[in-house]
Amino acid sequence: MTVLSADDLFLRRGGAGLLSGISLSLGPTGSVAVVGPNGAGKSTLLKVLAGIVPPTTGQVRIGDRDLSRLSGAVRARQIGYLPQYFEPHWDLTIADLVRLGAERAGRLTKGTVEEMMARFELAPLRGRRWSTLSGGERARVLLAMVLAVDPPALLADEPAASLDIRHRIDVVRSLVRRATDRLCVVVMHDLDLAFRFFDSVIVMDRGSIAATGHAQDIFDDARLDAAFGVRFERLKMGHYFLLRPACL
C-alpha cells in the first residue's frame, strides 16, 4: 500500500530541467532520507511532492487521488511540509505561531495548542516573539506548527541544517520517531545521520533518482559515490555508519 507516489515527474524552469522523470512510491510508514549533492533537486522534489510547486508534467498522488486536484485545506491535512528556511513576516509570539499551525486544518481546540506547546517544551516560551528565539528554539516551534495537525505524511527539507549537533540529533530523532506509524521524508545533508537514523534512502543526482533502497544497501552502493563525485571510505561500527570521503 502506498500513501505517496510520483509518476514521471518533470519540472522545467527557463529551459533548465530541475526534475527529470522521477517516479517513486512511498508506503504509509517509514523514514526516508533524501540525499544528494548540491543542485541535485532534493528540495525541489520535496516541494513538488508536498504540492507547493506544481510539476511541469507528471503527477503526484496521495493515496489514489491526484494531489493537484485536492483543495489546499485537504492537502494540508494529508501532507505536512517543513521548509528549509522559515522567517515569518510579522514578529508573532510562539503561542500565535503554534495556533496558526493548529488552525489550518480547522481542528483547533484549546487543548491542541497547549498539547503541542508541552510536547515540544515550548510552554515557557509561549509569550516570546519569534525574533528573540535561538536556532534550536525556532526549530522546535516550526516542528510544533507543522505537526499540530498530525499529518499522515511529513516532508521535511533539511530542518536541522543550521543547528549544532545536539539539536540536530534532537530534531532528526523527533522526526524519525513519527515514522513508526507515519510516513516521514527528510532531505538530509548529513550523510552519517541519514544512514544512522533512516529506514531507507533516496540518492538524487542531477534531477533524477540515482539509487533508492534500504539504508544498509545504499550505504554500500557505488552509485552513492558516483552521485557525490567522490570515493567514500565506509566504516561500520555497530549501529554507526560512517562515510569518509577519500582523497581525490
Indicate whether 42 belongs to the interface with another protein (CB under 8 A): no
Cβ at position 149, least distance to another protein in Å: 9
Cβ at position 182, least distance to another protein in Å: 17
Indicate whether 104 belongs to the interface with another protein (CB under 8 A): yes
Cβ at position 183, least distance to another protein in Å: 16
Angle at 62 between CA 106 and CA 59, to 5 degrees: 125
> Under a CB-based contact definition with an 8 Å cutoff, are residues 187 and 161 in contact?
no
Indicate whether 69 belongs to the interface with another protein (CB under 8 A): no
Q: Which of 39, 48, 45 is CA-nearest to residue 68?
A: 48
d(CA 126, CA 121): 10
Stretch that binds another protein, among 32-40, 50-58, 219-227, 236-244 (CB under 8 A): 50-58
> Under a CB-based contact definition with an 8 Å cutoff, are residues 139 and 171 in contact?
yes
> Under a CB-based contact definition with an 8 Å cutoff, are residues 21 and 208 in contact?
yes
The single residue among 49, 81, 194, 200 that binds another protein, judged by CB under 8 A, is 81
Give the residues lining the site for another protein (CB under 8 A). 47, 50-52, 71-77, 79-81, 83, 86-93, 96-97, 100-101, 103-105, 146
